[in-house]
Structure 1
């Protein structure tokens, strides 16, 4: 662990992030993010700190084994989150957005943009897990993809659009899904936050290569 530098990002209401860098190679960053997927009161930063401690021990112990499995050809993981939203699309809905300098997450599976003139933020990321349904928000369709729109958990300042990219059976035969998630937060009325979330998700899904 002595070779690993841990950086603590400011806590947010919907997530808590820790970033790790190898002291010998500061261009390599590993992120650990705890997110609130359901309503609850657990401390996200306590969870992130525990996971970071375990990961830092692994990183500091030496070279990691390579992941042996290749990704399916139709996996959302083959897409680039940052490439799905154009400068024009971001500029239309996010005033003063710094579109050319997003925060890029691991594997280009997460991309975050912020306004330079206000507190509006956009977080586009890919996820894997339970298949969303009508309990996850108001159903709609975006470019043929099923999507669900909801106020994010207990946060009055965020709106989430979940887009089902593809469904697949896991190793136990349960139905899982890869999803594109577009979270918008800021001090705007909820109807505006959700409109921005939906329209940016619509723009992003138009760039996806997989069939809906």
Structure 2
């Protein structure tokens, strides 16, 4: 599809946020367990002075539809469970997504355990997608109305449960109550920091060029 680069800034795999998604090993949990995915191409409206989260669009390469970012959001209960990619509610194709390096390695190593049933699950997953997008609320989510503290704490609690309770079971190690008590406040603080960073990042506005001034004579 053709993109109006005079209006939209293109974020691809070379963008900092995309590189962070690919290289951060912790995000493998978001990708493999939660099913959170990031599209390969994201468009940022350069003609708007609204916060970043309010001028972000995701293009579908199959039908050329420009989707508002909140199409896949907690608000619409579509932010997660996107293991196979972002489902386009317009043409029902999958929008290509980035792959986290760590999750890619995990999938490669565990391939013998899932290759024989993955296609069956994918077909079942695809059939369930249209209903998830049948009543989308695409009213703009204003940056000022987002509870960033709640979002950060929610992320911290999820990471605490996964890293402190589930991972020891998967690794075959015993739970240590001392480690659990130490990790809980660490993840709470980490969640608050995450919420603050997201508030700052998603609130970024378009930098306006300074108007040159003429020297006084």
Greater relative CO (CA pairs within 8 A, separation 6+): 2
Instruction: Calculate the TM-score normalised by the size of structure 2.
Output: 0.23
Which structure has more helix as a fraction of its residues? 2
Higher strand share: 1
